[in-house]
Structure 1
Amino acid sequence: MKNFKVKAAVLSQSFIVMAIMIASTVLANIAQSFPDASLTAIQMVMTFGMVASFPATLVAGVLGNTLNKKYIVLVALVLMLVGGLLPAFLHDKLVYIYASSLLIGAGQGTLMTTISNISTELFEGDERSQMYGMQTAFQNGGSVVMMMVAGMLARVQWTQAYLAFGIILVTIVIVMLWLPADQVAPKKQVAGAQNAPKAKVPGSVYFIGVLICLFCIGYSTFSLNASLYIASMGLGDPSTVALAMSLSTGAGVVGGFAFPKIFKVLNRYVLTLACAVTAGGYLLLVLFPSITIVFLAAITAGVGFSLSIPLGIQAISETATPEQMSSSMGSYMAFTSVGAAASPLIINALAGFIPNADEGTVFLTSVAFLVVLTVITVFWSIKTSTNKNTNEPPVPE
């Protein structure tokens, strides 16, 4: 029972960690409320959260060496709760929405790093791989629930969608009751933290982080553009967007549970599969634009995300030493935040080079971006998978 409670406490955090995706369901409504704002300015509602997540992941990695992770988690949850509820009461200026995203992103970044560190410390071997997969599954499952709730609330008024963040209160209670403070920061880890400056992040971690960063640049196109695409094509309302995003995260649940088995077969090639599946879904959206294909693209994106993120965590757990783990996870999560934050800037800029641009241009740009990345990951997988027996992938030159 004790082990069940610990797992429940960890997975409850994963359940709400992607709550920032709630904003993606009402981006089109936000654009209507602020007609003078540019496309990039509207997308910044999502991007600001990702920008705030970047330093938070790094800080959380450092603090995880010295502070009890239970208290770090509680602070992160409070930041997300306050930031999430803000637009429900203050929404007449775009700056309030930005402030909300910053608070949510700071909490999310802190939580993502700390969750990974907690699982790495508390679980070993196959159980650890299973937890990585289950975390991704709960992460996506939580997104499904929260976005469906947000979609229904948005039918009344788009600002009410943010009330879905109230679900975080349940997670706070579970963490307070079931997450053991004494097990999250064992004495041997605290003692090791005294030598933290010597525990440098391995070069291979940075390379893995760059690959995941690039994947997030291509992957994030869907969450950033789905609402605007569906609205511009006349395919639905916020509840339709919520359904599309829920299908994406729902597919992520399946991908998360399937990750351990897929990893045993494909090893590092899991990342290649993630890139190819995501690119394939976006290509179908470009070639056959319809609400059915939107849902299909959402599913492929969810599968790609649920395979790529735990693959990075798995690779780092095999590469970094226990002393390096906290900082390594912080650095890794920072790369995911950078990729998501940079996505609209890079993809929109590249899309500008395509003539006769339309609603599907950004998705076509992402397809090209992900295809190039797929080729790169093939070479990375060949080089690192040959060392899977030693669990020490080499540092790329």
Structure 2
Amino acid sequence: MQVHERTRKNNATLKLAILCVAMLNNVMGSATSALGTIASIFPDASYTVVSMISTVPPLIMSVVPFFYTPLITHVRKRSILWLSAVLLLVGGLGPAVFHTNIYVILIFRIILGFAVGFCTILSIDLIVDFFDGKEKHTLTGMRDTFNSLGGAAFTLIGGWLAGIQWYYCFWAVLLGFVFIAIPLIFLPEPDRKAKMEFEKEVLGNQSVDVKVPGSVWLFSIFALLHWIFFYVFITNVAMIVISEQIATPAQSGMIYAFINVGTIIFGLIFGKVFQKIKYVTLFIGMGLGGVALLIASNAVTTGVFIIGAICLGAGSAFLMPSIYAKNGSLTPYKNQSKAISIVSFMIGVGGFLSPFIFNSFGLDGRTQCVVGGILYIVCGALAMILAFVIKPKHNYDLSEYSTH
């Protein structure tokens, strides 16, 4: 009984440590609600340049995966976590001190992007290292919940601080050091070698020693599309509500915070829903995102924008774990870090490209929401169909084999 209780306690501590890493994935959101104010502080900067305060970190996130996979073959994952803490300190707090030049701010946001990039990959990669099967799917959904809890905290605090002085929003990053302290203290180093040896033992070398299939790239493209459409909401709503005098910077921060409310709720139920309807969750996820943009395209009150924000967060909570689940079913544990890195690359590129793609057509913010909403729903239907058509060549779910 004592051994069982100790094991359960250690397992709970492990889960908490990993989920605390996930709480850092949205740390850059602390400045989102201040975009409208920042645009007025730097009137000579274009709309696209101001938007880069929000979109540069995701761009850098797309760079991190290129060296994350080879890095973990030589460096312990705990060492990467410590590196992330240092980058978080410099990149997160730098703009709070050096804020007279928007391009200097962008340099610090680049540094922050590396911190977020490492944390984003680690938060899902560590789940794959330590868990399998239903427990992995449930924890992946909870990852989005904790991701959003952190995002809500950063966004609300950032919006409140921006209401006092616009550049105070960057001080909200201090909260991140509370979150990262827990895994730095309690997270053990995963034994990847032992798990890979077990996989070879139960599946055979021929099934394990394979390349990442093209289907992983295919489903990762839906992550790219998701974040392109997602950032239509992120980069336009603050501009709309401030320019049309619908809300203050603090109130716009509240709108963004409700994205996390949707993610928190749907992230908690994802595991159970996924077990019942499988990849229908892909369509539900992108469909809810489309509804969110269509709502934002016509909203004229803060309350209606909040409803759209909740739908957007709920959609993301169903979509991203579904993509990770599908890609995880298509490749062995040996290649899962690569598969996760591919998704992270797509997330970063999508978030960065979004304003460039939609602004290139000369569309105003509300029209961008209409176009993005329709495309969101169409892509969701396609993702669901492909998920049921494309099957894995082997059963890579190690939970169905004897305990390793």
What's the TM-score once normalised by structure 1's chain length?
0.90
SS of 1:324's partner is helix
User: What code does the residue aligned with 1:360 have?
Assistant: R
Distance between the aligned counterparts of 1:221 and 1:324, measured in 2? 32
Q: Within the alignment, does 1:366 sit opposite 2:366 as a pair?
A: no
Going from structure 1 to structure 2, the CA distance change for 1:383 and 1:43 (only over 3 Å counts) comes to: same
User: What code does the residue aligned with 2:304 have?
Assistant: I
SS of 1:62's partner is helix
Aligned to 2:92: 84
Aligned to 1:133: 141
Counting aligned pairs with the same residue, the percent is 23
SS of 1:16's partner is coil
User: What code does the residue aligned with 1:366 have?
Assistant: G
Correspondent of 1:326 among 334, 337, 349:
337
Aligned to 1:93: 101
Q: Within the alignment, does 1:147 sit opposite 2:155 as a pair?
A: yes
The residue correspondences of 1:263-274 to structure 2 (distance < 5 A) are 263-274=274-285
User: What code does the residue aligned with 2:385 have?
Assistant: F
Please state how far the C-alpha of 1:266 moved relative to its aligned partner.
2.4
Partners of 2:263 and 2:317 within 8 A in 1: yes
Distance between the aligned counterparts of 1:254 and 1:86, measured in 2? 33
Partners of 2:241 and 2:248 within 8 A in 1: yes
User: What code does the residue aligned with 1:361 have?
Assistant: T
Structure 1 residue runs of 4 or more that deviate by more than 4 Å after TM superposition: 189-192, 387-392
Aligned to 2:292: 281
User: What code does the residue aligned with 2:294 have?
Assistant: L
Q: Within the alignment, does 1:176 sit opposite 2:184 as a pair?
A: yes
Please state how far the C-alpha of 1:47 moved relative to its aligned partner.
1.8
Aligned to 1:339: 350
Partners of 1:317 and 1:325 within 8 A in 2: yes
Aligned to 2:402: none
Distance between the aligned counterparts of 1:225 and 1:75, measured in 2? 33
Partners of 1:278 and 1:300 within 8 A in 2: yes
Going from structure 1 to structure 2, the CA distance change for 1:189 and 1:301 (only over 3 Å counts) comes to: same
User: What code does the residue aligned with 1:139 have?
Assistant: N
Distance between the aligned counterparts of 2:42 and 2:109, measured in 1? 17
Distance between the aligned counterparts of 1:38 and 1:49, measured in 2? 18
Aligned to 2:387: 381
Task: Let me know the Cα RMSD of the aligned residues.
Answer: 2.3
Please state how far the C-alpha of 1:70 moved relative to its aligned partner.
1.1
Deviation per CA, 1:329-356, whole angstroms, max 9, x where unpaired?
1111111111111111112224x2xxxx
Going from structure 1 to structure 2, the CA distance change for 1:240 and 1:382 (only over 3 Å counts) comes to: same
The residue correspondences of 1:61-210 to structure 2 (distance < 5 A) are 61-181=69-189, 184-188=190-194, 200-210=211-221
Distance between the aligned counterparts of 1:148 and 1:45, measured in 2? 17
Deviation per CA, 1:202-235, whole angstroms, max 9, x where unpaired?
2111011111111111111111122111101101
Correspondent of 1:53 among 61, 70, 85:
61
User: What code does the residue aligned with 1:125 have?
Assistant: G
Distance between the aligned counterparts of 1:375 and 1:176, measured in 2? 41
Correspondent of 2:10 among 2, 5, 8:
2
Going from structure 1 to structure 2, the CA distance change for 1:285 and 1:172 (only over 3 Å counts) comes to: closer
Distance between the aligned counterparts of 1:256 and 1:66, measured in 2? 33
The residue correspondences of 1:24-63 to structure 2 (distance < 5 A) are 24-63=32-71
Partners of 2:196 and 2:334 within 8 A in 1: no
Please state how far the C-alpha of 1:389 moved relative to its aligned partner.
11
SS of 2:23's partner is helix
What's the TM-score once normalised by structure 2's chain length?
0.89
Partners of 2:69 and 2:341 within 8 A in 1: yes
How many residues are aligned here? 381
Distance between the aligned counterparts of 1:370 and 1:16, measured in 2? 26
Partners of 1:62 and 1:327 within 8 A in 2: no
Partners of 1:218 and 1:347 within 8 A in 2: no
Going from structure 1 to structure 2, the CA distance change for 1:190 and 1:65 (only over 3 Å counts) comes to: farther
Distance between the aligned counterparts of 2:195 and 2:112, measured in 1? 29
Structure 2: gaps spanning 5 or more residues: 1-8, 199-204, 397-404
Please state how far the C-alpha of 1:377 moved relative to its aligned partner.
2.0
